[in-house]
C-alpha cells in the first residue's frame, strides 16, 4: 500500500499565506485606484459622448451604463441576465455611484436599459473614448521601456471571426459557402458571420491593449476574403495615421500583410514594419534572399534567443529583387530533439529597419512576440474571462458597442492584473482573480476614507 504523503510545512504556510492575502484583498478598491490614476477623466469622457436617447426620459448617465458594462466584463459575468442578478447588491450600487460620479444613482440599470442604449449609441463614440484612454497611457512614462529599440511602439494587426449565424443576420454579414454531402449529392450551404480587425498596442510584455478596431463588413459578394481583410486593414491604418500622427510606430502582422500596399502606407506615415515572410506571399523576395544567402552574402549570428538558435539577415533584398519597398530580411531557426525526434523550427520576417548584429536578437524577439500575442490575445478573449463570442444582443449596432466595451474593460483589466497583489504574491490565475474581483464588488463597501486615500496615494503608489 502506498504511504500517505505528509504535507510539508511549506505547503501549509503557502495555503495560510494565500488565505491571508485573499482576506486582505479588496480588488474593487484597487480597480478604482487604478482608474483614478490612469483614467481620471473616464466618467467625464463617457458623459461627453453624443447621447442618442430622448433626454427627457433619462434615469442613468452614460457613465453609469458603460461603467456597468465594463465591470460586467472585468468580473467575467457572461450574460446580460446574470449581470442583472449578480450586480443587484447595495454595495454594487454604491460603488458604481462613486465610480460614475452620478450622485442620483439609486439602482443598478437593467440589462434591457443597457441594450436599448447600446443599440442607439454610435460605436465611434466608444472608439473615441478608447483613444483618449490609450493616449493618456502613452503619455505616462511607466511604459516607455517596452518600446522596440528604445523608440518604436509596436502595433500588431490581426483579424478574427466573432459571430457565426445559420441565417443572414444583418445587412453587414459576411458570407461564406460550405460544400456538404447530403444523400450522395453535393449541397452548397451559405453561412453568415462577423469579423473584426484589431490593432493592438504593446505597452509592456504582459499588457497588450486594443488601440483600434475595424469591423469587417460585407462589401459585395465577389470581393475575396483576403481582399476584404486587406481593405479593412487599409482603412484601419489610414485612421491610425490620422489619429496618431507623431507616434513612432512599428507595425507588425502576419504574411497576409507582407504586401506592397501595406509597406507603402508605412512609408507614407514614416512607420517601421516587421512582417512575417512566407515564400508563397513574396516569392521574388524569397528567391532573391536565398540566392544572396547561398552565395555567402548573409550575415549570421548564433546563440540567439532563449533557444540559443541561429539568426541570419540580408539588408535591402528589394534591390536584387527589383522591388520598390524596402525589404531587409531575416530569419531565425533552432532545433529541438524531443524523444529522438529532430525538428527544425524556422521563422522569417521582412522589415524596413536596418538590421545589424547588435539589433538582430531584439528584432527576432519582436517578430516572434507578435505570433505569441496573436495566439494568446484573441484566445484569451474568446475562452478566457470575457467570452467575446457570446452574443449579448442580436442588434448589429449593439454588438459593436458590446465588443468595444470589452476592449475598454480589457485595458483596465490588464493593468489591474499586472498590479494585483494576488497575482504577484500568490500567483492567482486570471480567472480566479476575475471571480474574486466580482466577490469584492458585491461585498466590499467603498468608504469615504478609501476614496480620500485613493486620491492622495495613487500617484505615489503607481509611478
Which of these ranges, 73-81, 172-180, 276-284, 401-409, lies near Zn ion under the rule CB under 5 A? Answer: 172-180
Question: Rounded to the nearest 5 degrees, what angle is found at the Cα of 201, between the Cα atoms of 195 and 205?
Answer: 120
DSSP reduced 3-state for 331: strand
Interface pick for Zn ion out of 111, 157, 173, 412 (rule CB under 5 A): 173
How far is Cα 309 from Cα 285, in angstroms, rounded to an integer? 23
Span from 22-30, 169-177, 229-237, 242-250 in contact with Zn ion (CB under 5 A):
169-177
Give the three-state DSSP class for 32: helix
d(CA 240, CA 236): 6
Interaction between residue 411 and Zn ion (CB under 5 A)? no
Using CB under 5 A as the binding rule, whether residue 398 contacts Zn ion is answered as: no
Of all helices (H) and strands (E), which one includes residue 276?
strand 272-276
Cell 442613468, residue located: 60
> Toward Zn ion, which CB reaches closer, 49 or 170?
170
Nearest to 323 by CA among 377, 293, 284, 370: 284
Give the cell for residue 404: 468595444
Tell how far CA 98 is from the center of its chain.
28
Residue 174 binds Zn ion, judged by CB under 5 A:
no
Considering beta carbons, is residue 218 or 359 the nearer one to Zn ion?
218
Parallel, antiparallel or unpaired: strands 299-304 and 185-204: unpaired
Report the nearest approach of Zn ion to the CB of residue 159 (Å): 16
Spatial distance between the Cα atoms of 268 and 255, rounded to a whole number of angstroms: 20
- Given the complex with Zn ion, which of 154 and 195 has the nearer CB atom? 195
Distance CA 346, CA 144 (A): 30
Residue among 118 and 298 whose Cβ is closer to Zn ion = 118
- 130-149 residues in contact with Zn ion (CB under 5 A) are none
Spatial contact of 285 and 321, defined as CB atoms under 8 Å apart? yes
Q: Which stretch binds Zn ion (CB under 5 A): 85-93, 162-170, 250-258, 347-355?
A: 162-170
Say if residues 310 and 338 touch (Cβ distance below 8 Å): no
**Least distance (Å) between residue 399 CB and Zn ion:** 8
Size of the site for Zn ion (CB under 5 A): 3
SS3 call for 445: coil
Closer to Zn ion by Cβ: residue 169 or 267: 169
Cell numbers 540580408 correspond to 314
Q: How far is the CB of 218 from Zn ion (least distance, A)?
A: 8
By DSSP bridging, strand 309-314 and strand 299-304 are: antiparallel
Among 11-19, 110-118, 171-179, 361-369, the segment contacting Zn ion (CB under 5 A):
171-179
Q: Which CB, 142 or 160, lies closer to Zn ion?
A: 160
Region class of 101: left (phi > 0), else alpha (psi between -120 and 50), else beta: left
Is-contact 81 111, C-beta < 8 A? yes
For residue 409, which of 139, 220, 126 has the smallest C-alpha distance?
126
Q: Which of 49, 138, 149, 170 binds Zn ion (CB under 5 A)?
A: 170
Options 56-64, 133-141, 173-181, 377-385: segment touching Zn ion (CB under 5 A): 173-181
Tell the smallest beta-carbon distance from residue 396 to Zn ion (Å). Answer: 5
Q: With respect to Zn ion, which residue has the nearer C-beta, 142 or 218?
A: 218
- Contact range with Zn ion by CB under 5 A, out of 18-26, 59-67, 147-155, 167-175: 167-175
Identify the residue among 169, 239, 278, 423 touching Zn ion (CB under 5 A): 169
Please report how close the Cβ of residue 118 comes to Zn ion at its closest, in angstroms.
16
**207 is a contact residue toward Zn ion (CB under 5 A):** no
169 vs 191, beta carbon nearer Zn ion: 169
Alpha carbons 353 and 417: distance in angstroms, whole number: 33
Which range touches Zn ion (CB under 5 A), out of 92-100, 120-128, 170-178, 323-331?
Answer: 170-178
Residues that bind Zn ion (CB under 5 A): 169-170, 173
Amino acid at each position: 500500500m502506498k504511504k500517505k504523503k505528509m504535507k510539508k510545512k511549506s505547503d501549509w504556510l503557502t495555503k495560510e499565506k494565500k488565505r491571508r492575502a485573499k482576506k486582505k484583498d479588496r480588488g474593487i478598491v484597487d480597480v478604482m485606484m487604478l482608474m483614478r490614476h490612469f483614467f481620471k477623466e473616464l466618467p467625464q469622457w463617457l458623459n461627453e459622448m453624443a447621447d442618442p436617447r430622448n433626454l427627457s426620459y433619462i434615469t442613468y448617465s452614460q457613465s453609469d451604463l458603460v461603467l456597468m458594462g465594463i465591470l460586467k466584463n472585468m468580473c467575467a459575468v457572461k450574460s446580460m441576465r446574470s449581470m442583472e442578478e449578480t450586480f443587484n447588491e447595495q454595495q454594487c450600487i454604491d460603488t458604481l455611484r462613486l465610480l460614475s460620479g452620478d450622485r442620483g444613482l439609486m439602482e443598478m440599470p437593467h440589462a434591457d436599459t443597457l441594450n436599448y442604449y447600446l443599440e442607439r449609441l454610435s460605436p465611434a463614440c466608444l472608439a473615441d473614448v478608447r483613444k483618449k484612454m490609450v493616449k493618456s497611457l502613452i503619455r505616462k512614462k511607466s511604459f516607455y521601456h517596452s518600446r522596440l529599440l528604445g523608440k518604436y511602439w509596436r502595433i500588431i494587426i490581426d483579424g478574427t471571426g466573432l459571430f457565426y449565424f445559420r441565417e443572414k443576420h444583418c445587412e453587414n454579414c459576411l458570407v461564406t459557402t460550405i460544400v456538404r454531402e447530403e444523400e450522395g449529392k453535393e449541397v452548397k450551404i451559405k453561412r453568415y458571420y462577423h469579423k473584426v480587425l484589431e490593432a493592438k498596442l504593446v505597452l509592456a510584455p504582459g499588457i497588450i491593449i486594443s488601440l483600434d478596431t475595424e469591423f469587417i463588413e460585407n462589401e459585395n459578394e465577389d470581393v475575396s476574403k483576403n481582399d476584404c481583410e486587406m481593405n479593412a486593414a487599409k482603412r484601419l491604418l489610414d485612421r491610425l495615421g490620422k489619429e496618431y500622427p507623431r507616434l513612432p510606430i512599428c507595425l507588425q502582422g502576419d504574411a497576409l500583410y507582407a504586401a506592397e500596399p501595406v509597406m507603402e502606407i508605412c512609408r507614407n506615415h514614416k512607420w517601421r514594419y516587421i512582417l512575417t515572410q512566407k515564400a508563397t506571399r513574396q516569392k521574388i523576395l524569397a528567391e532573391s534572399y536565398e540566392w544572396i544567402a547561398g552565395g555567402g552574402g548573409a550575415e549570421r549570428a548564433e546563440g540567439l534567443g532563449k533557444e540559443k538558435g541561429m539568426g541570419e539577415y540580408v539588408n535591402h533584398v528589394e534591390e536584387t529583387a527589383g522591388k520598390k519597398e524596402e525589404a531587409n530580411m531575416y530569419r531565425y531557426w533552432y532545433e529541438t530533439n524531443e524523444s529522438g525526434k529532430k525538428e527544425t523550427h524556422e521563422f522569417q520576417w521582412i522589415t524596413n529597419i536596418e538590421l545589424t548584429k547588435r539589433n538582430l536578437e531584439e528584432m527576432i524577439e519582436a517578430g516572434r512576440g507578435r505570433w505569441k500575442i496573436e495566439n494568446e490575445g484573441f484566445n484569451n478573449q474568446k475562452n478566457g474571462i470575457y467570452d467575446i463570442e457570446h452574443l449579448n444582443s442580436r442588434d448589429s449596432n449593439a454588438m459593436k458597442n458590446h465588443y468595444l466595451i470589452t476592449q475598454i474593460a480589457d485595458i483596465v483589466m490588464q493593468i489591474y492584473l499586472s498590479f494585483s497583489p494576488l497575482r504577484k504574491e500568490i500567483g492567482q490565475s486570471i480567472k480566479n482573480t476575475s471571480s474574486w474581483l466580482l466577490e469584492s464588488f458585491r461585498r466590499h463597501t467603498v468608504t469615504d476614507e478609501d476614496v480620500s486615500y485613493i486620491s492622495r496615494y495613487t500617484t505615489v503608489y503607481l509611478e
